[in-house]
Amino acid sequence: MGQKSTKAVPRVLAAMAILVMATASCRAGGWVASVVGDVVGSKGDVACDRRYGEGPEADPAGFCQEVIDTVAVSQVGDDCRDNQHAHSIEGRCPREGIIGGCKLSITNDDGSEVYDWYYDVSDLERAKNTEFESSVKTVDEVRAKCADRSRYDEGAEFVEP
């Protein structure tokens, strides 16, 4: 008693692979593939672009958060859509228009790194006739965001785009 069978893991992974192949729905197949990837430790990049809110509860902001080399791609994407009401991206944040970024000084269990990239969102603010949360215009304003311990309680380091 107390020993775990190592024979069960390959059987479970094989069953999940068969389920993925047998599933006709792309959405269900993608979900299962994501779960299988998470189980075996596959890593990827994911971003939550807060500039583009989705739905009536959206509250646009002037930044995009990216998580690099994480096993939690699907969870970060779900959180982005469901809780932030923002645009989820499998991959990294768009680089066009970045003023600067903050590399968060947090230690994630999976070793992933988190960056908040700040953009000039003046055109989007004018188009929507509103001011976005975390709106910045200069590199110095981004540096100030990174140094703000009320925003980044564990700290953050300014990074160039």
pLDDT averaged over 10-residue windows placed end to end, the chain, 161 residues: 45 40 37 48 93 84 97 96 95 97 95 97 91 92 97 96 90
Full-model pTM = 0.73
Same-domain check for residues 95 and 20: no
Same-domain check for residues 65 and 16: no
Give the position of tokens 């998580």. Answer: 67
Q: Spell out where 71-142 has E strands.
A: 86-90, 98-104, 113-119
Rounded to 5°, angle at Cα 19 from 13 and 15: 30
- Amino acid identity of residue 11, one-letter, is R
Same-domain check for residues 68 and 36: no
Same-domain check for residues 36 and 74: no
Same-domain check for residues 155 and 137: yes
Q: What pLDDT is recorded for position 30?
A: 41
Query: Which domain does 96 fall in, by range?
Result: 44-159
Alpha-carbon span 108 to 62, nearest angstrom: 24
33: Cβ contacts below 8 Å, ≥ 6 apart: 20
Angle between helices 26-40 and 73-82 (to 10 degrees): 130
Is 2 part of any domain? no
Same-domain check for residues 59 and 129: yes
- The token pair at 97 is 């228009």
Rounded to 5°, angle at Cα 50 from 87 and 134: 175
Q: How far apart are the first and last CA of the chain?
A: 54
